[in-house]
Amino acid sequence: MWQQTGWQKTMACNSQLSTSEEDKSVEEGNEVPDFSDEEILEGQELGHRFSEPWEDSDVILVVKDEKFHVHRLILSINSPVFKAMFKSEFKEATANEVLLPDKKANEVLDFLKQLYLQEREEITMDNVQHLLKLSDEYQVKAIFEQCVKFLENQPKTEENVMTILMLASLYRLDNHNMLESCYTTIREMKRQSILKATQQQDLDQETMQNIMSQRFERLETCLEKLYPHFIGVLEYCFSLWYKSGNWMKQMVTWCPLHFTNGKLHSGDIYCERLSDCPVCKQMLLTITEDQVFKSALRKNAFTDDFDEDLSSLIQDFSELITN
């Protein structure tokens, strides 16, 4: 789980760090760099406790243009990576400044606030991702476990479920309760919502397969429960149609093999009859095309969506359930 890259990156970058004022200055007339909006925001004053020396702070973490005054002892107690760094034969062991490469100042600030109890702030969906990253890189077990606990207890929604799954996959969080609650949420999401959410996260193939599998399982379960009710309602409609009046009896040729007085023969399965019996198909087609029936349907149900596609729809429905 742990990736011992924090010390290695810091060593490589600090070997090139010069403390001379000449190297820090920028000569007049140099071209002004073209900073991105993110870099501009990151360079703004953060206004934090660590911006100045305080309570015997004895080392400075440098993140781009931001400096964090911290304590070697606190870093060493919490992080084996920092402990090894400060006890090494490299200059970081005695240097006043330690450069943290490839880091963002606001994320390091959130990380330090978790290390210092008096500065600790609540873990949220806005900071949990980089707190997991930094606590994993610097092997701060306490922060890492707090992040995992937060993800487990966080209510899973369409807005955050893919982020939580991505973090669970990235850091191998084999937490059954957390994963199950994620997939429970996904099972109730619409296809477009799933596609939109997955496009916003870099999910591995196994996680994507699990997501789609959960969604398919939910739909199949729903169809299996819905199908007998759907067929039961349809068969009840046949009975009502038969009893509706002489016009229906005269117009519709009721299948003598499968119907008696508008009722199904005991033990018959409608989907099988519909697939094999042309008389049953024609009977359904005649009913759904009748204008008197459509008019009555609109009057009582505000719809006339029963049409010639009904027989093929029932057949497709049946095949989805049985195949």
Classified as helix, coil or strand, 165 is helix
Angle between helices 176-187 and 141-153 (to 10 degrees): 30
State whether 13 and 128 are in the same domain: yes
- pLDDT for 23 equals 42
- pLDDT for 114 equals 96
- pLDDT for 272 equals 60
- pLDDT for 254 equals 77
Q: What is the torsional sign of CA 169, 175, 181, 184?
A: positive
State whether 168 and 228 are in the same domain: no
Q: Give the residue from 63, 134, 155 showing the smallest Cα distance to 102.
A: 63
Residue 56 and residue 247: Cα distance in Å, rounded?
Answer: 99
State whether 269 and 137 are in the same domain: no
Average pLDDT, the chain: 78
State whether 67 and 205 are in the same domain: yes
- pLDDT for 46 equals 64
State whether 298 and 204 are in the same domain: no
What average pLDDT does the segment 169-173 reach?
91
Residue 227 CA: distances (Å) to CA of 232, 280, 293? 8, 19, 24
Which pLDDT band, with edges at 50, 70 and 90, does 129 fall under? very high
Residue 177 and residue 164: Cα distance in Å, rounded?
Answer: 12
Q: Please tell me which residue, 5 or 309, carries the higher pLDDT value.
A: 309
- pLDDT for 140 equals 97
Does residue 250 belong to any structural domain of this protein? yes
pLDDT over 70 at 53, yes or no: yes
State whether 237 and 208 are in the same domain: no
Does residue 28 belong to any structural domain of this protein? no
State whether 184 and 264 are in the same domain: no
HSE-up of residue 215 (Cα within 13 Å, Cβ side): 14
- Of 213, 237, 258, the position where a domain reaches its end is 213
Q: Please tell me which residue, 280 or 247, carries the higher pLDDT value.
A: 280
Does residue 22 belong to any structural domain of this protein? no
Does residue 29 belong to any structural domain of this protein? no
State whether 188 and 311 are in the same domain: no
Angle at Cα 115 formed by Cα 109 and Cα 117, nearest 5°? 110
State whether 116 and 157 are in the same domain: yes
Q: Which amino acid is at 57?
A: S
State whether 261 and 200 are in the same domain: no
- Domain with residue 138: its CATH number is 3.30.710.10
pLDDT over 70 at 322, yes or no: no
Q: Give the residue from 3, 10, 1, 135 showing the smallest Cα distance to 85.
A: 10
pTM of structure: 0.62
- Of 213, 244, 268, the position where a domain reaches its end is 213
Number of domains in the chain: 2
Which pLDDT band, with edges at 50, 70 and 90, does 228 fall under? confident
What is the DSSP-derived secondary structure letter of residue 92?
A: G
- Residue span of the structural domain in which 274 resides: 223-322
Does residue 109 belong to any structural domain of this protein? yes
Hey, what are 238's tokens?
A: 């046949």
State whether 62 and 143 are in the same domain: yes
